[in-house]
Chain A
């Protein structure tokens, strides 16, 4: 779908006879020298979080975008809630501005009367950004889906699964029988809600990110490190809180290690506690970002070479990548859940 829209868009470009910028660059009219296409900026702008949900840029340079609410807090001035439209195109509103260049690109900064941004003293930005809105939408979709599923279970009772149940139940059973039970043993029931939530949260977000447009689709939620960080932290907390005596003994007095090695072993084990969720965080983030990077790079090729001849090749590759990404969406949700279950299982295993 992403590719089809882009393909159609390319023809639109041709017919129009002018170069327009999808990428937040300055727009040149027909006959003007076209600015060199910067694939790096193009890709990063698509992948990165933003305060508005950009859909497309019209030939006259106007953006068609969904302007999301900005919520900022500063010590001096307190809370501010306003539409990000007031900050669009680099405008300054109530002393706030979205930085457009440099290291702080995309972040809200405070500007003084002279119009100079204060890069040291950043406001606390609790805006409902693109990622946050997409995540809320995913959560709502998930809630609607599973609450109606729960209701249908109340109706069907113990009879065979019907409708949506027959579609979702195999997935739930797969998580129970192939992820939870092998790793957690007889205590699996306690962890099922967490594993199911993680799996479906990641899966819904991954799949929503693959649909290019319109909002709330197309945001790369699981490719945002803050989200994978929170997910990993949750797994970390679950692991530490379910760890039994055996687990802590392995950390602080690893059996079979001579006591003089303990000063080395204990720090290593403690680092080990953090590397597991850290790996979870990076794996999910990197996989989801990488997939979008590849797709967007392939699309960028058309613009870099400035030739439509290349478009079919690019499009084919992007279709291939999108198919792969659907697989990756499921795979990453599965891997995150599986590894969470595995780590929890390691923390609760009994002495053997």
Chain B
């Protein structure tokens, strides 16, 4: 065990010198020519990955925002359309009802006018018929009587009386 203590646990001067020299040289060379380029390459890559991830997340966010925007725009458009349609329907209904009212009114007016016209025409026709009938009656009577009755006041009065007795409504 004394042997062990001596040969193993006592650092030899030469080994100390060489290991310090080798280790420090190893450290300096590696630091300058290996670790710096390696670490900076790894770091650069990490940064690229990080920034790409960030921009991807941002793009996704933007897309979501655009999507929700689209939706709201769509919804608004739909509402607008509904409104426009409703308005149009209202206008149409209003126009229709107005037109209907006007048409009815016009029609009624026309009908009224026609009725008045008809009434007038009727009256005119009736009076014409009266006249005609009177003339015909006089003609017939004169023929029958063989004499030319003069359309004097007495005769006309007589004819009128006859005619009054005739009920038009029977025809």
* A-chain residues with CB within 8 Å of residue B48 when the two chains form the complex: 158
Kindly state whether residue B33 has any CB partner on chain A within 8 Å: yes
A/B pair count, beta carbons within 8 Å: 136
Q: Does B66 contact A (CB under 8 A)?
A: no
Stretch at the interface among A126-134, A250-258, A269-277: A126-134
| Given A44-B3, A158-B48, A226-B16, residue A149 in contact with residue B30 (CB < 8 A) | no
- Closest chain-A Cβ to B18's Cβ sits at a distance in Å of 4
Instruction: Flag the segment in B37-45, B83-91, B114-122, B136-144 that touches A.
Output: B37-45
Provide the bound-state CA to CA distance between A194 and B42, in Å: 17
User: Is residue A143 within 8 Å, beta carbon to beta carbon, of the partner chain?
Assistant: yes
Task: Give min CB distance, A101 to chain B, whole Å.
Answer: 10
Q: Which residues of B contact A125 (CB under 8 A)?
A: 12-14
Chain A nearest CB from B26 CB (Å) reads 4
Does A150 make an interface contact (CB < 8 A)? yes
Separation of A176 and B41 alpha carbons in the complex (Å): 14
Which one, A80-88, A228-236, A298-306, A344-352, is touching chain B? A228-236
Do A153 and B13 have beta carbons less than 8 Å apart?
no
* B34 and A150 contact, CB distance less than 8 A: yes
Residue of A139, A172, A189 ringed by the most chain B CB atoms within 10 A = A139
Which chain B residues border A179 with CB–CB below 8 Å? Answer: none
Interface assignment of B171: CB less than 8 Å from any CB of chain A: no
Q: Contact check, B30 vs A193: say whether CB atoms are below 8 A apart.
A: yes
| Given A197-B31, A201-B26; A103-B2 close (CB under 8 Å) | yes
Q: What are the residues of chain A within 8 A of B9 when measuring CB–CB? A: 225
Interface bits A137-155 vs B (CB < 8 Å: 1, else 0): 0010011001101100110
Residue from B7, B34, B36 in contact with A105 in the complex, judged by beta carbons closer than 8 Å? B7
Known: A225-B8, A226-B11. A193 touches B42 (CB 8 A): no
Task: Tell me which residues across on chain A come within 8 A of B10, comparing CB atoms.
Answer: 225
User: Is B57 part of the binding interface, using a Cβ–Cβ cutoff of 8 Å?
Assistant: no
Measured CA separation A142–B26 after assembly (Å): 8
Q: Digit string of A149-167 for contact with B (CB within 8 Å is 1, else 0)?
A: 1100110111000000000
Give the chain A neighbours of B31 by CB distance below 8 A.
193, 197
Interface residues of A in 288-317 (CB under 8 A from B): 289
Tell whether A212 is near chain B: CB-to-CB under 8 Å. no
Report A-chain residues with C-beta under 8 Å of the C-beta of B20: 230, 233
B30 touches A135 (CB 8 A): no
* Set of chain B residues within 8 Å of A173, measured between Cβ atoms: 42
Query: Within the assembled complex, what's the spacing in Å between the Cα atoms of A147 and B35?
Result: 9
Q: Is the CB of B8 within 8 A of A44?
A: yes
- Number of chain B residues whose Cβ lies closer than 8 Å to a Cβ of chain A: 39
Interface range on chain A (Cβ under 8 Å from partner): 35 or more
Known contacts being A103-B2, A125-B12, is A135 close to B19, with CB within 8 Å?
Answer: yes
Contact of A266 with B by CB under 8 A: no
Evaluate contact between B38 and A146: CB separation under 8 angstroms.
Answer: yes
Residues of B within 8 A of A105 (CB): 3, 6-7
Contact check, B16 vs A150: say whether CB atoms are below 8 A apart. Answer: no
Do A197 and B35 contact each other (CB < 8 Å), given the known contacts A126-B14, A146-B30, A158-B44? Answer: yes
A326 interfacial contact with B, CB 8 Å: no
* Contact call B3/A139, Cβ cutoff below 8 A: no
Chain A 36-51, CB-CB to B under 8 Å as 1, else 0, gives 0000100010011100
B18 closest partner in A (C-beta): A132
A150-B38, A153-B37 given; A158·B13 CB < 8 A: no
What residues on B are CB-neighbors of A142 within 8 Å? 26, 30
A230 touches B23 (CB 8 A): yes
Task: Provide the residues of chain A in CB contact with B22, threshold 8 Å.
Answer: 132, 135-136, 139
Which one, B7, B24, B35, contacts A193 given CB within 8 A? Answer: B35
> What string of 1s and 0s marks CB contacts (under 8 Å) between B67-110 and chain A?
00000000000000000000000000000000000000000000
Q: In the bound complex, do residue A226 and residue B38 qualify as a contact, i.e. CB atoms below 8 Å apart?
A: no
Name the residue of chain B whose CB is nearest to the CB of A71. B14
* In the assembled complex, A227 has its CB within 8 A of some CB on chain B: yes
List 16 additional A-B contacts (Cβ < 8 Å) besides A153-B38, A230-B19: A44-B7, A103-B3, A105-B7, A129-B15, A139-B26, A143-B30, A147-B33, A192-B39, A193-B30, A193-B39, A196-B30, A201-B23, A201-B26, A225-B10, A230-B20, A233-B20
B interface residues, Cβ below 8 angstroms from A: 2-4, 6-20, 22-27, 29-31, 33-39, 41-42, 44-45, 48
Can you list 27 A-B pairs, Cβ within 8 angstroms, ordered by A?
A49-B12, A49-B15, A103-B3, A105-B3, A105-B6, A107-B12, A125-B12, A128-B18, A131-B15, A132-B22, A136-B22, A139-B26, A142-B30, A143-B34, A146-B30, A146-B33, A149-B34, A150-B33, A157-B41, A172-B38, A176-B42, A192-B39, A194-B27, A197-B26, A197-B27, A225-B9, A227-B19
- Interchain residue pairs A-B with the least CB separation, the first 4: A226-B11, A226-B15, A146-B34, A153-B41
